[in-house]
Amino acid sequence: MSEPAAAGEDPALHERGPRGATRQQLAAHFDDLATGRQPWKRNRYYHAELANFVAFLVPDGSTVLEIGCGAGGLLASVRPRHGVGVDLSPEMVNRAAVSHPHLQFVVGDAEDLPIEGPFDYVILSDLIGYLEDVQTAFDNLHRVTSPESRIVITYFNYLWEPLLRLAQTVGLTTPQRRQNWLGLGDIENLLFLSNFEVIKSGYRLLLPVWIPGLSWLANRIVAKLPGIRKLCLVQYVVARSRRRGDAAAHSVSVVVPCRNERGNIEGAVERIPPLGRETEIVFVDGNSTDGTAEEIARVARVHGGARRIRLLHQGDGTGKGDAVRKGFAAATGDVLMILDADLTVPPEDLPKFYDALATGKGEFINGTRLVYPMERQAMRTLNLLGNKFFSLAFTWLLEQRFRDTLCGTKVLFKRDYEKIVANRHYFGDFDPFGDFDLIFGASRLNLKIVEVPVRYRERTYGTTNISRFRHGWLLLRMCLVAFYKLKLN
């Protein structure tokens, strides 16, 4: 990532023609705000709420570029490992450099960026309304991003235009020049034209001023209700580049948590197809009493010449979630996969998951059992209803579509899993299944989540280790934790 030039005047401001004149006028407008030559009334509550939300989207310690950084407060609030701010106004850049000396600031134009990337995150907050050519600005973002980068855009909901104009007229908000008023669909379409794809989008902040008690109720509860949420002041988009190179051949680790699954072990090894550059199978035995560990050792001796088969003992840990975490920690592959030992998700479907990840269609590949008809005894009615309830709940909580949150087969890159581990403290560590730990983490990191439909089969050996009522209560508790962290926090 190249270093930006030192703060100073941008030569592009002197470009001839209408566009250059417009930029000079805009720079002068913000220079006046920065130096106090124009009244500048900041709504502290609005800016604090916006900063909290953007900080939720951008993990601590990321490399971050903010375009249209103003005085640098938002960039500082996300606590970047390396932070760079770009703004059209030299006076704003000077003010930001004095206020936040640990960050870097440079004068520049969003439509002709003076720096190169890539950065982990690029923020455009309350900016696109001022741009002469939004699509050109979006095109330029490829210079500062990679396929793993994320673009975070916030902007005012066009439904608020009359109210914001009135607020400016009576002096309640900062004076603004004429702006573009783009709906969420307009922003998403312009990103598509510039070869970006949307990962998630939505609305925030129904009441943008502080009124004790009422602001919390409006913005934490009422603003999240269907229909009403579209009346919020702020609309946001998180996007990534659609540009992808050729699919690389990655090494793969298939982690198989198992407890009392002796009759399924050899079938799992024989049916898991070769994946990527090389494939290892990591069995994690949860203190089985039916000879599962001994069967894994026997199968490894018989089939070990054709592929790498490993056995881990879960030890004092309990639950599938603990087994998955131990398996992932020991795995050596670039790609991590979970395959339930009951083989109700056919191992023959794993190449679909690998291809979706390796070709860049997604970064967290989740199986869904609720698309195709399933075999008659594969899932009991109460389990099916529970799965549908949790899929709807998590679609609302995470603002990303989920058909099936509890399918055991999930696939992601090891590098992304390590980021999930680093941020696991945000939600806590009490998921006994591992599914929600991964889903929460993937959503928190703004990974592109893609679902692969699978045919769900009947179990042919053993009995399920799931208790519908006891584990159902745990799942509900996790929903409540997610509601608190994602909706109320």
Q: Which residues is 312 bridged to in the sheet?
A: 284
For residue 83, the cross-strand partners are 64
Q: Tens digit of pLDDT for each residue in 144-156?
A: 999 999 999 999 9
Distance of CA 37 to the CA centre of its chain: 41
pLDDT for the residue 5:
42
CA distance linking residue 267 with residue 307, whole number of Å: 14
pLDDT at 233: 94
Q: Does residue 1 lie in a domain region?
A: no
- Using the predicted structure, report yes or no on whether residue 478 has a pLDDT greater than 80: no
Residue 366 in any domain: the answer is yes
- Please tell me whether residues 220 and 282 are part of one structural domain: no
d(CA 412, CA 335): 6
Q: Sheet with 449-453: list strands edge to edge.
A: 308-313, 278-285, 251-258, 335-338, 410-413, 364-368, 449-453
pLDDT at 9 over 60: no
pLDDT digits (tens, 9 = 90+) for 290-317: 999 999 999 999 997 778 999 999 988 8
* Residue 382 pLDDT: 64
User: Does residue 378 have a pLDDT over 70?
Assistant: no
User: By CB neighbour count within 10 A (0-12 exposed, 13-18 middle, 19+ buried), where does 25 fall?
Assistant: exposed
Please indicate, yes or no, if residue 324 is contained in any of the structural domains: yes
Can you tell me the distance from the alpha carbon of 35 to that of 414, in angstroms, rounded to the nearest whole number? 48
- Domain residues for the domain of 345 are 251-488
Q: Are residues 361 and 406 in the same domain?
A: yes
Local confidence band at 104 (pLDDT 50, 70, 90 cut-offs): very high
In this structure, the answer to whether residues 150 and 102 fall within a common structural domain is yes
54 versus 396: which is more confidently predicted?
Answer: 54
**Residue-level pLDDT at 51:** 94
Beta carbons within 8 Å of 119's beta carbon, 6+ residues apart: 1, 62, 63, 64, 65, 84, 144, 145, 149
* pLDDT grade for 245, boundaries at 50, 70 and 90: low
Least confident of 154-168, 397-411, 460-474: 460-474
Which band of pLDDT confidence, cut at 50, 70 and 90, is reported for residue 370?
confident
pLDDT for residue 470 is more than 50: yes
Residue with the two structure tokens 């609005």:
46
Tell me: do 294 and 219 sit in the same domain.
no
Q: Does residue 16 surpass a pLDDT of 60?
A: no
Confidence of residue 8 (pLDDT cuts 50, 70, 90): very low
Three-state SS for the chain is CCCCCCCCCCHHHHCCCHHHHHHHHHHHHHHHHHHCCCCCCCCHHHHHHHHHHHHHHCCCCCEEEEECCCCCHHHHHCCCCEEEEEECCHHHHHHHHHHCCCCEEEECECCECCCCCCCCEEEEECCHHHCCCHHHHHHHHHHHCCCCCEEEEEEECHHHHHHHHHHHHCCCCCCCCCCCCCCHHHHHHHHHHCCEEEEEEEEECCCCCCCCCHHHHHHHCHHHCCCHHHHCCEEEEEEEECCCCCCCCCEEEEEEEECCCHHHHHHHHHHCCCCCCEEEEEEEECCCCCCHHHHHHHHHHHHCCCCEEEEEECCCCCCHHHHHHHHHHHCCCCEEEECCCCCCCCHHHHHHHHHHHHCCCCCEEEEECCCCCCCCCCCCHHHHHHHHHHHHHHHHHHCCCCCCCCCCCEEEEHHHHHHHHHCHHHCCCCCCCCHHHHHHHHHHCCCCEEEEECCCCCCCCCCCCCCHHHHHHHHHHHHHHHHHHHHHC
Is 5 a domain residue?
Answer: no
pLDDT of residue 225: 86
| Residue 380's CATH number | 3.90.550.10
Q: Which residues, 6 or more positions from 8, have their beta carbon under 8 angstroms from its beta carbon?
A: 90, 106, 107
At residue 268, the pLDDT reads: 94
In a shared domain, residues 192 and 66: yes
The answer to whether residue 116 sits within a structural domain is yes
- Amino acid (one-letter) located at 144: V
pLDDT at 482: 74
HSE-up of residue 443 (Cα within 13 Å, Cβ side): 24
- Residue 193 in any domain: the answer is yes
**pLDDT band at 201; cut points 50, 70, 90:** very high
Please check whether residues 138 and 282 belong to one and the same domain.
no
Please tell me the least confidently modeled range out of 51-60, 223-232, 307-316, 465-474.
Answer: 465-474
- Domain boundary residue, one of 185, 210, 241: 241
Predicted local distance difference test score (pLDDT) of residue 431: 67
* Segment 370-383 mean pLDDT: 63
Least confident segment among 102-106, 238-242, 287-291, 384-388: 384-388
Cβ 137 vs Cβ 123: under 8 Å: no
Q: Which of 68-82, 149-163, 459-473 has the lowest mean pLDDT?
A: 459-473
As a whole number, mean pLDDT of residues 88-116 equals 93
Give the domain-ending residue among 241, 272, 288: 241
Judge if 295 and 347 occupy the same domain: yes
Task: Report the alpha-carbon distance of residue 386 to residue 392 in Å, rounded.
Answer: 10
Indicate the pLDDT class of residue 65, thresholds 50, 70 and 90.
very high
User: Of 386, 409, 348, which is closest to residue 473 (Cα–Cα)?
Assistant: 386
431 within some domain = yes
Residue 18 has pLDDT above 60, yes or no: no
Residue 452, strand partner residues: 367
Query: Final residue of a domain: which of 188, 217, 241?
Result: 241
Tell whether 123 and 183 lie within a shared domain: yes
Cβ atoms of residues 145 and 121 within 8 Å: no
Residue 256 scores a pLDDT above 70 = yes
Check whether residue 311 and residue 407 sit in a common domain: yes
Question: What is the average pLDDT value for the chain, to the nearest integer?
Answer: 85
pLDDT of residue 468: 55
Q: Check pLDDT > 60 for residue 60.
A: yes
What tokens does 287 get?
Answer: 């203190």
Q: In 459-486, which positions are buried (b, 16+ CB within 10 angstroms) versus exposed (e)?
A: beebeebeeeeebbebbeebbebbeebb
- Give dist(CA 98, CA 483) in Å, integer: 39
The token duo for 277 is 């550059």
Sign of CA dihedral 476, 479, 484, 488: negative
**Residue 20: is its pLDDT beyond 60?**
no
Give yes or no: residues 165 and 18 share one domain: yes
The answer to whether 386 touches 469, Cβ cutoff 8 Å, is no
pLDDT(271) > 50: yes
Q: Looking at the predicted structure, is the pLDDT value of residue 4 above 50?
A: no
CA gap 207, 365 in Å, rounded: 37
Whether 400 and 198 have beta carbons less than 8 Å apart is answered as: no
CATH code, 174? 3.40.50.150
The overall pTM is greater than 0.75? yes
Do residues 329 and 385 both lie within one domain?
A: yes
CA 409 – CA 335 distance, rounded (Å): 13
Q: Is the pLDDT of residue 43 over 80?
A: no
Residue 272 lies in a domain: yes
233 and 292 co-located in one domain: no
Total structural domains within the chain: 2
pLDDT for position 3? 44
